[in-house]
Amino acid sequence: MSTVATRRPAGTTHRRAPEIIEAAARVFAERGYHGASTQAIADVLGIRQASLYYYFGSKEEALTLVCMRGVEEFVEHAAAIGAGPGTAAEKVRALVHSHLRPLVDRRDFVLVFLRERHLLPDDSRRRVGRLSRRLERIFQDVLEAGVRSGELRPGLDCRLVTLALLGMCNAAPAWYGKEPGASIERIAAEFARLAIDGLAAGRSRSKGGR
């Protein structure tokens, strides 16, 4: 955001900085934060381990940076969808699409965010925690509005369904790229369809819970 080349502005802005943080994301994604040594990150970059500390002040800071890029935009996009026009169905479809899209070019960042965010230092953990909750809130609001409008099945437990949808989507990074023929588009379409049909206020369907 800051355009002026300051002297080490908080958050690290060096020439190779993006490269470095990407390497960290990769290694954290592969081995987990605690399983990843700074040496392994340096190896990926072909530099010496000590040199990493020119780019970040601590391993924890690297994790913070990675996690940050793993959530950013998520919420903004979702918020725009939530606030925009459209039926609940259309919004759910859009939310699912939007939630899966970062997988294409940010899989490692997302994976690290999903799995390792609880290791963040207190302040950044709380920050991403708030983001997470805002995201959940957006999903839930869309669902609740859908129920109120009668578009979605009455009696829907919107909280649980939110968690179901997010769980469904958040599992994708773990296998995306290993399932042949599963493009983001296909996945999003299939997931959205499942969700929308599963939530729609319908007629006779499933003889009724238990």
Partner DNA sequence: CATGAATGAGCATTCATTCAT
Partner DNA sequence: GATGAATGAATGCTCATTCAT
Rule CB under 7 A: which of 23-52 touch DNA?
36-39, 47-52
Cα–Cα distance for residue pair 29/109, rounded to 1 Å: 7
Q: Does 196 bind its own copies (CB under 8 A)?
A: yes
Q: Does 124 bind DNA (CB under 7 A)?
A: no
Q: How far is the CB of 117 from DNA (least distance, A)?
A: 17
Cα–Cα distance for residue pair 167/158, rounded to 1 Å: 14
Q: Which does 54 bind (CB under 5 to 8 A by kind): DNA, its own copies, none?
A: DNA
Q: How far is the CB of 19 from DNA (least distance, A)?
A: 9
Q: Which among 8, 10, 40, 4 has a CA at the least distance from the CA of 23?
A: 40
Cα–Cα distance for residue pair 50/43, rounded to 1 Å: 11
Q: Does 59 bind DNA (CB under 7 A)?
A: yes
**Residue for token pair 């994301």:** 25
Q: How far is the CB of 51 from its own copies (least distance, A)?
A: 11
**Residue for token pair 């995306």:** 176
Q: How far is the CB of 125 from DNA (least distance, A)?
A: 16
Cα–Cα distance for residue pair 205/182, rounded to 1 Å: 29
Stretch that binds DNA, among 56-64, 111-119, 152-160, 192-200 (CB under 7 A): 56-64
Contacts of 86 (CB under 8 A, 6+ apart): 94
CB closer to DNA, 60 vs 144: 60
Q: Does 32 bind its own copies (CB under 8 A)?
A: yes
